[in-house]
């Protein structure tokens, strides 16, 4: 039985090197096909003008790791934080997720990462699990991320 958090298409659809947005653009770094237990995913460079300011990923599918990694991961370089760039990139990624047949996405954040929580909330995210335990054998646990909030975004 397919999860409500799974997509319909698990292979690369996007054939563009650039996706242009109103504030930021996304440059495809690579598409990583499924390997072993890992989900396939897109990785994009977030740019503002010609300047690289961060990255964003979209994972395709659903497995037990999704409740830890989420479908989407993003990072904005410190010098560029505070301008809602992650929000604009997240909105663009939601469009790609729709093309893959997603109806809902999961995104995770540490409970003390207020910037990310505001971004997720602004993008329509709803908290569905507060401070969920990360498995002790997961790399997130090893690097100190032992509890994560899980948010659902309805597309």
What pLDDT digit, counting tens, does each position of 60-72 carry? Answer: 999 888 999 999 9
Does residue 3 lie within any of the structural domains?
Answer: no
Report pLDDT for 119: 97
pLDDT band at residue 83, thresholds of 50, 70 and 90? very high
pLDDT of res. 35? 80
Radius of gyration for the alpha carbons in the chain, expressed in angstroms and rounded: 15
- Is 11 inside any structural domain? no
Residue 111 lies in a domain: yes
pLDDT (tens digit per residue) in 6-60: 878 787 876 778 999 999 999 999 999 988 778 999 999 999 999 999 999 999 9
* Count of the separate structural domains present in the chain: 1
The residue-averaged pLDDT of 126-152 equals 91
What's the whole-number average pLDDT of the chain?
92
Three-class DSSP labels, 42-66: EEEEEEECCEEEEEEEEECCCCCCH
C-alpha to C-alpha distance for 141 and 29, rounded to whole angstroms:
27
Residue 121 in domain:
yes
Q: Residue 73 is part of which domain span?
A: 18-154
Structural domain includes residue 95: yes
DSSP code at position 80: G
Residue range 120-133, pLDDT digits in tens: 999 999 999 999 99
Of the pLDDT bands very low, low, confident and very high (cuts 50, 70, 90), residue 1 is low
Domain annotation covers residue 1? no
Residue 51's CATH number = 3.40.630.30
Q: Is residue 46 assigned to a domain?
A: yes
pLDDT of 82 > 80? The answer is: yes
């Amino acid at each position: 039985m397919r999860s409500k958090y799974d997509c319909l298409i698990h292979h690369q659809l996007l054939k563009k090197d650039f996706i242009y947005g109103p504030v930021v653009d996304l440059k495809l770094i690579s598409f990583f096909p499924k390997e072993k237990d890992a989900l396939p995913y897109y990785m994009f460079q977030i740019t503002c003008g010609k300047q690289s300011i961060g990255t964003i990923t979209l994972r395709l599918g659903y497995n037990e790791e999704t409740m830890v990694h989420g479908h989407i991961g993003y990072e904005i370089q410190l010098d560029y934080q505070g301008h809602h760039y992650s929000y604009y990139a997240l909105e663009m990624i939601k469009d790609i997720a729709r093309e893959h047949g997603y109806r809902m996405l999961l995104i995770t954040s540490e409970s003390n990462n207020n910037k990310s929580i505001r971004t997720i909330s602004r993008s329509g995210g709803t908290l569905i699990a507060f401070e969920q335990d990360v498995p002790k054998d997961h790399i997130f646990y090893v690097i100190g991320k032992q509890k994560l909030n899980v948010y659902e975004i309805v597309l």
